Amino acid sequence: MTTTRKNALAPDQENVDISTEKNWMIIIFGYNEQIILPVKQATALLCLLEEAYEYKETYSHESVIRPITMSIATKMLSGERYKEYRRNYILGVNDDASTNE
């Protein structure tokens, strides 16, 4: 059985299939930089990073290109949680219960 809901943004489209809601991937660079993308795009980005190097430019030394030394980690976020967190941000809600997984 397919679960459907009315699409408020496109009233001419009667029902929208929500059984295929997007899941998201959080990519963590180093200790505190995080980005979030749909899984398909995050996977593509990670594949591109296989060919990436760090570029270091300083005033007192020659620029250096070297293998990436920062850690890169990933974790998953369900589509349901993504919508909850985005809604809370948009509404300015700071609900500590919604940040616990």
User: Does position 1 have pLDDT exceeding 70, yes or no?
Assistant: no
Question: In angstroms, how far is CA 72 from the centroid of its own chain?
Answer: 13
* CB-CB neighbours of 88 under 10 Å: 14
Determine the Cα–Cα distance for residues 50 and 68; give it in Å rounded to an integer. 10
Q: Find where tokens 């990670």 sit.
A: 46
Model pTM score: 0.66
Average pLDDT of the residues in 91-101: 64
What pLDDT shows up at residue 34?
Answer: 96
Determine the Cα–Cα distance for residues 73 and 81; give it in Å rounded to an integer. 19
CA distances to 6, 19, 79, 87 from 10, in Å: 9, 18, 20, 20
The domain segmentation of the chain, as residue ranges, is 21-91
* pLDDT tens string 28-73: 999 999 999 999 999 999 999 999 999 999 888 899 999 998 899 9
